[in-house]
Amino acid sequence: MTDAAELRRRTAALLAAHPPAGTERLDFLRARFDAGLAWVHYPEGLGGLGAPRSLQAVVDAELEAAGAPDNDPRRIGIGLGMAAPTILAYGTEEQKRRYLRPLWTGEEVWCQLFSEPGAGSDLAALGTRAVRTGEGDWVVNGQKVWTSSAHVARWAILIARTDPDVPKHQGITYFLCDMTDPGIEVRPLRQITGEAEFNEVFLTDVRIPDSRRLGDVGDGWKVAQTTLNNERVAIGGMRLPREGGMIGPVSRTWRERPELRTHDLHQRLLTLWVEAEAARLTAERLRQQLVAGQPGPEGAGMKLAFARLNQEISGLEVELRGEEGLLYDDWTMRRPELVDFVGRDAGYRYLRSKGNSIEGGTTEVLLNIVAERVLGLPPEARTDKDVAWKDLAR
């Protein structure tokens, strides 16, 4: 059995064979994956050793102390947090070996082709069609929206309608889509901040081999639940240091700018600081629960807390700074690879936080998930649940 001592021994061997100071970053990351030290709870040969997930911290601490490079997890968060666990759960052995290594090393960036203009909160109503050809491949036509990283991604996780004659949740199939294939057009979406972090993606007669289908035909909704549960944990369960996240900037401003303080703002800051710390500790407990298996609906609750806190904290910072808080740089049509609050001003953080209650599942949808799947309350009435997708009002 792989224990902490064995992991330290293996990490020391990796560092001896590939000294970080003298090894190219990508070469080191590939060697780390091949040594089973990428994500230790994954199977052997797929970047892991089949060890308890909790032991990943042992490896990470040893490598950080040695100055080893990481895989820039924020840049490839969709691949790490959403695509990888879904491929591991439903992929063929060939798919796992083809996609997981370059995904983890960051050689191939991933994006998520789920939401559509007419299927956001009601994702199962999606209308992008995938039709099977006589040769067994699939031809996809449709439009996706709010796609982070589509402008830099090589691969996408895609769900499309393959059977319009059955209820909406039953006629969906899950695919792995090559973003460099003919027929894929990525257009920028300008946001309230001015920049174009998201995209809309148009698919016109895009051919996808059946070998890139993930799971059974018509089983895409089930496969997608693995992705969505992991997404909510990735957003709401991010590991943050004490006073990490948005509470950090407003706390620093409070300490450095005493002339801005008022009694009322002090009370509000203390309240939000306590809530942020409670959310951080709860997220840590959630990550510990993940050691036992796949994430469940509890991630929805953490994502809800994350969205509300970010919005309230960023609003407090703008109010604390007064007129100064209303100013922010011109980010018009910049195309960032990821959401990055570092170096941004309070005005930007306030505007960007408005998207927290939409991305990763709207607040309304997540409240239903918590009510039904966590608290066990009666489900909301759904009159279209057993109606064929083609007969739904649109």
The question of whether 107 is a catalytic residue gets the answer: no
By C-alpha distance, which of 105, 99, 108 is closest to 37?
A: 105
What is the three-class DSSP state of 382?
coil
Residue 336 in tokens: 């960032």
Contact 198, 191 (CB under 8 A): yes
* Alpha-carbon span 390 to 332, nearest angstrom: 40
Catalytic pick among 195, 197, 231, 317: 231
Give the 3-state secondary structure of residue 330.
Answer: coil
What angle do helix axes 263-290 and 220-236 make, rounded to 10 degrees?
140
Residue type, 144: K
Which residue from 207, 185, 189 is spatially nearest to 199, judged by alpha carbons? 189
Q: Quick count: other Cβ atoms within 10 Å of Cβ 308?
A: 16
CA-to-CA separations, 203 to 123, 177, 184, 198, 211, in angstroms, rounded: 18, 10, 5, 16, 19
Nearest alpha-carbon partner for 71 in 28, 112, 42: 28
Spatial contact of 200 and 143, defined as CB atoms under 8 Å apart:
yes
Residue 154 C-beta-side C-alpha neighbours within 13 Å: 9
Spatial contact of 142 and 134, defined as CB atoms under 8 Å apart? no
Measured between alpha carbons, how far is 322 from 264 in angstroms, rounded to an integer?
A: 14
Q: What is the SS3 assignment for 52?
A: coil
3-state secondary structure (DSSP) of residue 175: strand
Residue 39 has what DSSP assignment? S
Q: How far apart are CA 101 and CA 45, in angstroms?
A: 10
Q: Which residues contact 262 (CB under 8 A, 6 or more apart)?
A: none
3-state secondary structure of 271: helix
Tokens of 362: 């709207």
**What is the helix (H) or strand (E) element at residue 377, kind and residue range?**
none
Q: Which residues are catalytic?
A: 231
